[in-house]
């Protein structure tokens, strides 16, 4: 068992605490960093899981990236891809939906691609989710070259 961030070996206690918090193996130092991010930004734990799964797959993601208007759960800056983890689908009102459409408009105008991934996909289909995100990144790379 090693920390997914710094690869230092983990003891039983640290492993358990990190798994209880976010379900990702982290040392004490990195667990506390993530804990602070969650406290400050209300980051869903599925965003942390996807972030490390992407890192593990060789992608260079950023956690809680500020896009000028709001904080994005995960950003892949090379291809201007922003990923938000959705946790509140059933509760969405018309106003929120309209707000999302407006946000999407601003993103597209600035050359960003935004995707929203329901948290249950990360929970139950993490491998496939990572596979499709990588596919999207590859697609964006091709399109960037074409411009
Ligand atoms: Zn660490």
Residues 50 and 35 in one domain: no
CA 11 / ligand 1 centre spacing (Å): 12
pLDDT digits over 105-138, tens only? 888 888 899 999 999 999 999 999 999 999 999 9
Q: What is the CATH number of the domain that holds 119?
A: 3.40.960.10
Residues whose CB is under 5 A from ligand 1 (ion)? 3, 5-6, 27, 30
Residues 26 and 77 in one domain: no
Residues 55 and 127 in one domain: yes
Torsion of CA 43, 41, 136, 115, to 10 degrees: 90
CA 34 / ligand 1 centre spacing (Å): 10
CA 58 / ligand 1 centre spacing (Å): 18
Contact status, residue 83 vs residue 44, Cβ threshold 8 Å: no
Q: Which range marks the domain in which residue 3 is found?
A: 1-42
Q: Where are the alpha helices (DSSP H) in the chain?
A: 12-21, 28-41, 45-56, 94-109, 119-124, 126-146
- The CA distance from 62 to 40, in Å, is 16
Residues 79 and 29 in one domain: no
What pLDDT sits at residue 89? 65
Residues 86 and 14 in one domain: no
Residue 77 pLDDT level (bands cut at 50, 70, 90): very high
CA 110 / ligand 1 centre spacing (Å): 35
What pLDDT sits at residue 87? 82
User: What is the number of domains present in the chain?
Assistant: 2
Residues 37 and 63 in one domain: no
CA 136 / ligand 1 centre spacing (Å): 29
**Residue 65 backbone phi and psi in degrees, to 5:** -90, 135
Q: Is 147's pLDDT higher than 80?
A: no
Residues 99 and 141 in one domain: yes
Residue 96 pLDDT level (bands cut at 50, 70, 90): confident
Residues 61 and 104 in one domain: yes
Q: Is 92's pLDDT higher than 80?
A: no
- Average pLDDT for residues 36-60, to the nearest whole number? 96
- The CA distance from 39 to 50, in Å, is 18
Q: Is 58's pLDDT higher than 70?
A: yes
CA 114 / ligand 1 centre spacing (Å): 29
CA 31 / ligand 1 centre spacing (Å): 7
Residues 64 and 97 in one domain: yes
How far is CA 136 from each of CA 6, 17, 81, 111, 132, rounded to the nearest angstrom? 27, 33, 9, 15, 6
Give the residue with greater pLDDT, 2 vs 68.
2
Question: How much of the chain, in percent, has pLDDT values that exceed 90?
Answer: 73
Q: Where are the alpha helices (DSSP H) in 79-125?
A: 94-109, 119-124
Residues 53 and 24 in one domain: no
């Amino acid at each position: 068992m090693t920390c997914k961030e710094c690869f230092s070996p983990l003891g039983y206690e640290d492993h358990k605490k990190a798994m209880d918090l976010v379900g990702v193996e982290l040392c004490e130092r990195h667990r506390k960093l993530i804990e602070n991010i969650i406290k400050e930004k209300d980051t869903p734990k599925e965003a942390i899981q996807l972030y490390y799964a992407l890192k593990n797959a060789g992608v260079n993601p950023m956690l809680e990236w500020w896009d000028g208007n709001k904080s994005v759960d995960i950003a892949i800056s090379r291809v201007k891809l922003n990923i938000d983890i959705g946790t509140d689908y059933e509760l969405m009102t018309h106003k929120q939906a309209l707000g999302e459409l407006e946000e999407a408009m601003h993103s597209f105008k600035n050359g960003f691609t935004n995707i929203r991934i329901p948290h249950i996909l990360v929970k139950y289909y993490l491998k496939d989710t990572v596979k499709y995100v990588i596919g999207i990144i590859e697609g964006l790379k091709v399109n960037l070259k074409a411009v």
